[in-house]
Amino acid sequence: MDGYPNVTAVDDQTFESEVLSCPVRCLVEFGATEVRSSRDILQILDHLGSQYQGRAKMFYVDIEKYNDLFRRYNILPNTIIRFTEGQPSGELVGIHEYSDYVDLLGLG
């Protein structure tokens, strides 16, 4: 993604192959880049992607373009879901402290 080199944008065509089949733990933000809190979360995920490179991957779904994915998980905008072995295994809603995202990732 432009400006966030450690975050991969996914859509309804790539979600399964990128996120659900990912061999490492993932965090996925379901947001809209024109919303400031979503951009703030992307900055955090970008930093986490750098910090945990090889151990975790960060993804982004634009809910305005791919709202079927958004509705699939019955979540609010700016929700971050942790996926482990292709399954949702935790979430945060909205902007939080950096340490909360580290805790959600669960890799220490």
Domains (range + CATH), the chain: 7-105 (3.40.30.10)
**Matching residue, tokens 């919303």:** 35
The three-point CA angle 39-50-56 to 5° equals 95
Is residue 33 pLDDT above 80, yes or no?
yes
DSSP 53: B
Which pLDDT does position 34 carry in this prediction?
Answer: 87
Q: In whole angstroms, how far apart are CA 3 and each of 6, 24, 38, 63, 99?
A: 9, 23, 13, 19, 22
Average pLDDT score over residue span 20-28: 97
Phi, psi of 14 (to 5 degrees): -110, -5
Handedness of CA 71, 76, 80, 83 (dihedral sign): negative
Is residue 108 pLDDT above 80, yes or no?
no
pLDDT digits (tens, 9 = 90+) for 52-62: 999 999 999 99
pTM listed for this prediction: 0.95
pLDDT digits (tens, 9 = 90+) for 52-96: 999 999 999 999 999 888 899 999 999 999 999 999 999 999 999
Which pLDDT does position 29 carry in this prediction?
Answer: 97
**Matching residue, tokens 């991969």:** 8
